[in-house]
Structure 1
């Protein structure tokens, strides 16, 4: 079984460009999570707070195989990461890890499948920030309540950056874009309305009072290709997607939607949108979650198992091959990231979309 899972992982390995949360660990080389001897978390039960200090990976004794729902296509980055994490759970607990790709409705289909399962820590799902922030705003049929779920661990946290092409537009920085906009409409590449890059660009240009319109596509790679070819003036995309364009000199990063400057590209110190005068902070974010009524001590044990596995050479090799930079913060940290992003998305939706 181990060889089979490893084969699936390597077959699905690809460059990480997971779309769709906010924290400061988004520099060029994020810190590897420190190995923890215990996990300090609070859960709630009939008698009040549950003391789960001293929890280790071995504190959880699963009675059945793990079922991990992935609301993204097989072979994609989310699927690859789920299989890497699944390999660690399999080795720790001696149970098979079954990855089910249940795509559609921004994760609502996979969430419904999780909801229908018996509450157990082996019943898991890989989620994206959009399912709790953007999807409910743009699709009223999606009604996911964050309090119905418990977050096990973060998986990915990545910066979103605004890129331009100086060779086509003459724009090299934010001031240059503003100057360009004095005489021209800004045409930007993004995903469709309801996506993170469309919302961030709409909010930024709206707050700056710049006339702009979107040319939409189904992927950030296509958006950046449109900038590089001169079909659009700029685009917002995850830092990992823009890396190849910055390295070959095709594109220049001019602003990052983060709390700190982005220094992940050699020779660049990309300023924050906040430093330009616009309080817009948003990161792509993916995580592992389960049902809210699962025993907190079991959730804490699984998180510790993931942290322990992240220290192994096997994990590091698999992550390197997948261009995966892990973000393995605890569930409470992940939940706060989602809540903060929800406030920003609601503000942008009410101002620029709910007309």
Structure 2
């Protein structure tokens, strides 16, 4: 009986300690700055949305959020860095569909997106992409560009091999049967500048950073990829309106992840605070004018979404050729 009581007290103490530890984690987080890792260059769509969210979120979490850009390998360098980071909630990843495209193209990344990460939430869904062409080309709409491309050598830019924008352009050229050379750049900004300067002929990208280029006539918009017109470009026809009836190019998304085994109370806390920020009218307007619909789904639903996206993109990749 004494032995039983001795062990009983030990187990009771251990259980109390674990419960206290879990409560302490939730109550004291965060107690130091958080690092938010962005896999792409400063100034691009992913970076600007990450920084805007970080500025809003740090007020709610009452701590500093340091945004760090770690571009390279279509986001794989930054993703690997976060996978190897401590699972304490102080190193987070802000990423795009590149997160799941990379492992579909490269089986030797050194990390598993479904085992080495804990999904937090999706900030927003892209409403679609804008297709822009060099302003000097003798075309004013999508059909004129397609006709031009059939008799001329054309090229397009993207932020790198295998990213979502590369995939979008590859879908377009595959569907239309155009032979186009892909030229990758180190980021969205230099890829867009390449269109404006005439280094390449076209690019498909989110509306976020292209507004000023269109307004100043540096590039010419010819189509929007969503089934409905963009609120930012109401006079711009969709690809379906332009004759590509069966072409469906989904927009991007902006997800947050933590290293696997990050305590669930922390995951839930971050997800809830992001959801709260997304209800802020200023943040809502920023995302809407950037071509996004605010999301903020819970971690469980986001996990299901990522897995379904992986299957969808895998099916798309079977029907397109991603040349370098």
Indicate how the Cα distance of structure 1 residues 206 and 107 shifts in structure 2: closer, same or farther if over 3 A, else same.
closer
Larger displacement relative to structure 2 (234-243 or 330-339): 330-339
Secondary structure of the residue that 2:119 maps to in structure 1? strand
TM-score normalised according to structure 1 size: 0.65
**Map of 1:236-251 to 2, 5 A cutoff?**
236-251=204-219
Q: Deviations over 1:10-40 (max 9, x none)?
A: xxxxxxxxxxxxxxxxxxxxxxxxxxxxxxx
Provide the rounded CA distance (Å) in 1 between the counterparts of 2:199 and 2:70: 34
Cα deviation, residue 269, structure 1: 4.0
Provide the rounded CA distance (Å) in 1 between the counterparts of 2:242 and 2:112: 30
Higher relative contact order (CA closer than 8 Å, sequence separation 6+):
1
Cα deviation, residue 329, structure 1: 1.9
RMSD of the TM alignment (CA)?
Answer: 3.9
- Correspondence for 1:137 among 104, 113, 135: 104
Q: Deviations over 1:34-62 (max 9, x none)?
A: xxxxxxxxxxxxxxxxxxxxxxxxx9423
Cα deviation, residue 118, structure 1: 4.9
Cα deviation, residue 312, structure 1: 5.4
**Map of 1:185-204 to 2, 5 A cutoff?**
185-204=153-172
**Map of 1:334-345 to 2, 5 A cutoff?**
334-335=302-303, 337-345=305-313
- Correspondence for 1:61 among 27, 43, 58: 27
Secondary structure of the residue that 1:176 maps to in structure 2? helix
Secondary structure of the residue that 2:211 maps to in structure 1? helix
Matching of residue 160 in structure 1 with residue 91 in structure 2:
no
Cα deviation, residue 97, structure 1: 4.1
Secondary structure of the residue that 2:168 maps to in structure 1? helix
Indicate how the Cα distance of structure 1 residues 69 and 354 shifts in structure 2: closer, same or farther if over 3 A, else same.
same
Secondary structure of the residue that 2:236 maps to in structure 1? coil
Q: Is the 1:66–1:123 contact (alpha carbons within 8 Å) kept by the matching residues of 2?
A: no
Indicate how the Cα distance of structure 1 residues 86 and 229 shifts in structure 2: closer, same or farther if over 3 A, else same.
closer
TM-score normalised according to structure 2 size: 0.70
Indicate how the Cα distance of structure 1 residues 229 and 324 shifts in structure 2: closer, same or farther if over 3 A, else same.
closer
**Map of 1:177-216 to 2, 5 A cutoff?**
177-216=145-184
- Correspondence for 1:235 among 179, 184, 203: 203
Cα deviation, residue 244, structure 1: 1.6
Cα deviation, residue 130, structure 1: 0.3
Provide the rounded CA distance (Å) in 2 between the counterparts of 1:97 and 1:245: 31
Cα deviation, residue 229, structure 1: 4.0
Indicate how the Cα distance of structure 1 residues 325 and 160 shifts in structure 2: closer, same or farther if over 3 A, else same.
closer
Secondary structure of the residue that 2:208 maps to in structure 1? helix
Stretches of structure 1 that go unaligned for 5 or more consecutive residues are 1-58
Matching of residue 289 in structure 1 with residue 257 in structure 2:
yes
Matching of residue 125 in structure 1 with residue 93 in structure 2:
yes
Provide the rounded CA distance (Å) in 2 between the counterparts of 1:261 and 1:317: 19
Q: Is the 2:120–2:270 contact (alpha carbons within 8 Å) kept by the matching residues of 1?
A: yes
Provide the rounded CA distance (Å) in 2 between the counterparts of 1:251 and 1:336: 38
Provide the rounded CA distance (Å) in 1 between the counterparts of 2:194 and 2:212: 14
Matching of residue 169 in structure 1 with residue 137 in structure 2:
yes
Q: Deviations over 1:87-146 (max 9, x none)?
A: 55544344454555555444444444444455444553223320221x223433214323
Q: Is the 1:71–1:127 contact (alpha carbons within 8 Å) kept by the matching residues of 2?
A: yes
Q: Is the 1:88–1:305 contact (alpha carbons within 8 Å) kept by the matching residues of 2?
A: no
Cα deviation, residue 230, structure 1: 4.0
Secondary structure of the residue that 2:205 maps to in structure 1? strand
Count of residue pairs brought into register by the alignment:
293
Indicate how the Cα distance of structure 1 residues 99 and 326 shifts in structure 2: closer, same or farther if over 3 A, else same.
farther
Secondary structure of the residue that 1:131 maps to in structure 2? helix
Indicate how the Cα distance of structure 1 residues 311 and 273 shifts in structure 2: closer, same or farther if over 3 A, else same.
same
Q: Is the 1:160–1:237 contact (alpha carbons within 8 Å) kept by the matching residues of 2?
A: yes
Q: Is the 1:70–1:99 contact (alpha carbons within 8 Å) kept by the matching residues of 2?
A: yes
- Which of the pair has more CA radius of gyration? 2
Structure 2 partner of 1:256: 224
